[in-house]
Protein backbone atom coordinates (compact mmCIF):
# COMPACT_ATOMS: atom_id res chain seq x y z
CA UNK A 1 0.00 0.00 0.00
CA UNK A 2 1.19 3.50 -0.83
CA UNK A 3 1.30 6.44 1.55
CA UNK A 4 0.95 10.21 1.48
CA UNK A 5 2.67 12.10 4.33
CA UNK A 6 1.41 15.52 5.42
CA UNK A 7 3.66 17.04 8.07
CA UNK A 8 3.70 20.20 10.14
CA UNK A 9 -0.01 21.06 10.02
CA UNK A 10 0.07 23.74 12.73
CA UNK A 11 -3.00 25.38 14.22
CA UNK A 12 -4.23 27.15 17.36
CA UNK A 13 -6.92 25.31 19.32
CA UNK A 14 -8.77 24.90 22.60
CA UNK A 15 -8.42 21.24 23.60
CA UNK A 16 -7.03 20.53 27.06
CA UNK A 17 -7.82 19.11 30.45
CA UNK A 18 -7.45 22.41 32.28
CA UNK A 19 -10.19 25.02 31.93
CA UNK A 20 -7.58 27.63 31.00
CA UNK A 21 -6.54 25.53 28.00
CA UNK A 22 -10.10 25.57 26.69
CA UNK A 23 -10.35 29.35 27.21
CA UNK A 24 -6.87 30.63 26.32
CA UNK A 25 -5.95 27.93 23.81
CA UNK A 26 -2.55 26.76 22.61
CA UNK A 27 -0.69 25.61 19.53
CA UNK A 28 -1.00 22.08 18.18
CA UNK A 29 0.82 20.39 15.33
CA UNK A 30 -0.26 17.32 13.38
CA UNK A 31 1.48 14.93 11.02
CA UNK A 32 -0.71 12.63 8.93
CA UNK A 33 0.11 9.49 7.02
CA UNK A 34 -2.60 8.39 4.60
CA UNK A 35 -2.58 4.86 3.20
CA UNK A 36 -3.95 5.11 -0.34
CA UNK A 37 -3.61 3.09 -3.52
CA UNK A 38 -1.69 5.50 -5.79
CA UNK A 39 -0.92 3.35 -8.83
CA UNK A 40 -3.86 4.63 -10.88
CA UNK A 41 -3.05 8.28 -10.12
CA UNK A 42 0.55 7.58 -11.11
CA UNK A 43 -0.67 6.47 -14.54
CA UNK A 44 -3.56 8.87 -15.11
CA UNK A 45 -2.25 12.13 -13.62
CA UNK A 46 -5.83 12.87 -12.41
CA UNK A 47 -6.58 14.13 -8.91
CA UNK A 48 -9.78 12.08 -8.96
CA UNK A 49 -7.58 8.97 -8.79
CA UNK A 50 -5.94 10.01 -5.52
CA UNK A 51 -6.78 11.88 -2.32
CA UNK A 52 -6.96 15.65 -2.53
CA UNK A 53 -4.81 16.19 0.54
CA UNK A 54 -6.05 19.76 0.88
CA UNK A 55 -9.23 18.17 2.26
CA UNK A 56 -7.26 16.28 4.92
CA UNK A 57 -5.43 19.47 5.91
CA UNK A 58 -8.75 21.34 6.16
CA UNK A 59 -10.18 18.60 8.40
CA UNK A 60 -7.24 18.88 10.79
CA UNK A 61 -7.36 22.67 10.91
CA UNK A 62 -11.13 22.82 11.40
CA UNK A 63 -11.16 20.23 14.19
CA UNK A 64 -8.28 21.84 16.07
CA UNK A 65 -9.84 25.31 15.81
CA UNK A 66 -13.39 24.30 16.79
CA UNK A 67 -13.03 21.37 19.23
CA UNK A 68 -13.00 21.81 23.00
CA UNK A 69 -12.20 18.28 24.13
CA UNK A 70 -10.61 17.61 27.50
CA UNK A 71 -8.17 15.06 26.08
CA UNK A 72 -5.82 15.26 23.11
CA UNK A 73 -6.52 11.56 22.62
CA UNK A 74 -10.11 12.49 21.74
CA UNK A 75 -8.93 15.17 19.30
CA UNK A 76 -6.55 12.74 17.58
CA UNK A 77 -9.35 10.16 17.31
CA UNK A 78 -11.77 12.73 15.87
CA UNK A 79 -9.18 13.70 13.25
CA UNK A 80 -8.54 10.06 12.34
CA UNK A 81 -12.24 9.23 12.03
CA UNK A 82 -12.98 12.19 9.78
CA UNK A 83 -9.92 11.67 7.56
CA UNK A 84 -11.00 8.04 7.13
CA UNK A 85 -14.26 9.31 5.66
CA UNK A 86 -12.34 10.68 2.66
CA UNK A 87 -12.75 8.52 -0.40
CA UNK A 88 -9.75 6.28 -1.10
CA UNK A 89 -8.17 6.59 2.39
CA UNK A 90 -7.86 3.06 3.74
CA UNK A 91 -5.82 3.83 6.86
CA UNK A 92 -4.56 6.93 8.65
CA UNK A 93 -1.86 7.65 11.19
CA UNK A 94 -2.30 10.82 13.27
CA UNK A 95 0.62 12.21 15.24
CA UNK A 96 -0.71 15.08 17.32
CA UNK A 97 1.87 17.24 19.10
CA UNK A 98 1.14 19.51 22.05
CA UNK A 99 4.39 21.50 22.28
CA UNK A 100 3.60 23.66 25.31
CA UNK A 101 1.65 21.54 27.77
CA UNK A 102 1.01 23.48 31.01
CA UNK A 103 2.90 21.06 33.25
CA UNK A 104 5.26 22.56 35.85
CA UNK A 105 8.98 21.97 35.17
CA UNK A 106 8.26 20.24 31.84
CA UNK A 107 9.51 21.82 28.65
CA UNK A 108 8.98 18.86 26.34
CA UNK A 109 6.30 17.96 23.86
CA UNK A 110 3.33 15.65 24.42
CA UNK A 111 2.71 13.44 21.38
CA UNK A 112 -0.32 11.25 20.70
CA UNK A 113 0.34 8.73 17.92
CA UNK A 114 -2.62 6.67 16.70
CA UNK A 115 -3.28 4.56 13.61
CA UNK A 116 -6.80 3.75 12.51
CA UNK A 117 -8.38 2.01 9.56
CA UNK A 118 -11.95 1.51 8.47
CA UNK A 119 -12.21 -1.54 10.77
CA UNK A 120 -11.04 0.38 13.89
CA UNK A 121 -13.21 3.50 13.70
CA UNK A 122 -14.03 4.99 17.07
Active site residues: 98
Quickly count: other Cβ atoms within 10 Å of residue 29's Cβ.
Answer: 18
Q: What one-character DSSP code corresponds to residue 48? A: G
Calpha distance 103→17 (Å, rounded): 11
Amino acid sequence: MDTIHLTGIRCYGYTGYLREEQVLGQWFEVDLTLWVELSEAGKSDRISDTVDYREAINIVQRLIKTSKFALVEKLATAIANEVLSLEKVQQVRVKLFKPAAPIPDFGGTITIDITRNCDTLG
